Structure 1
């Protein structure tokens, strides 16, 4: 069985107050695109920076990340082939204590990326949406 090369991987950090999403080039460990609700513009806009319980937070993070990915794709042509997401790993990370809340945040970001025409390949299809 051939191994799947994960050239670009979605990595998330979810805390009680903030959501940070990175797209990392796993071949060299460089962050290609990043967005966080800790950023001044996002923190003040929509009042997103106060809590991850706001359902719009994950959607906005996905929308902004998709725009940044599209800009980076101009200089990283391979990025046009999409990114990979290990969903179960992202859900099980520490952060929000409720695993269902983590799941909703992770899937909201992934669905937002997909809605904005970013190809996201889920590595672990057994980790279903809540």
Structure 2
């Protein structure tokens, strides 16, 4: 069975780290990932602040670059599906700016995002 909404963005946030994954729903495989837990990213943040909106934006930028390597940045009919409202609900209101920072960084770096059940109007 082939899933029409093949690629999906999933975010994981803790008190210390932010991780963004793009998952292939057909086989459950992670296509690309970026996290503030990575040594290369962790050392770039000032004062070790790896779980704020700036760090979330960096995670989005790095994920966008990795998606370009995989050939998934411009959609090619296969955009990345994201349910922003679900991600905000899952992470809690305090993390809303971090969720939007990741999403906006992906959009700003040329990743084609397809909103699911969206009431906020991203394109």
8 Å CA contact 1:18, 1:50 repeated in 2: no
Asked whether 1:112 is paired with 2:105, we answer yes
TM-score normalised to structure 1 length: 0.80
* Segments of 4+ moved more than 6 angstroms: none
Q: Specify the alignment match of 2:66 in structure 1.
A: 68
**Structure 1 portions without partners, runs of 5+:** none
With normalisation by structure 2, the TM-score equals 0.84
Structure with bigger helix share is 1
Contact 1:23 1:32 in 2 (8 A): yes
User: Any conservation in 1 of the 2:80–2:113 contact (CA below 8 Å)?
Assistant: yes
Count of residue correspondences: 119
**Number of the residue aligned with 2:37:** 38
User: Is 2:87 aligned against 1:90?
Assistant: yes
Counterpart CA distance in 1 for 2:64 and 2:114 is: 14
CA RMSD of aligned residues (A): 2.5
Shifted more, 82-91 versus 108-117: the winner is: 82-91
Distance, in Å, in 2 between the alignment partners of 1:128 and 1:14 is 24
Alignment partners' CA distance in 1, 2:44 and 2:29: 28
Aligned-partner SS, 1:45: coil
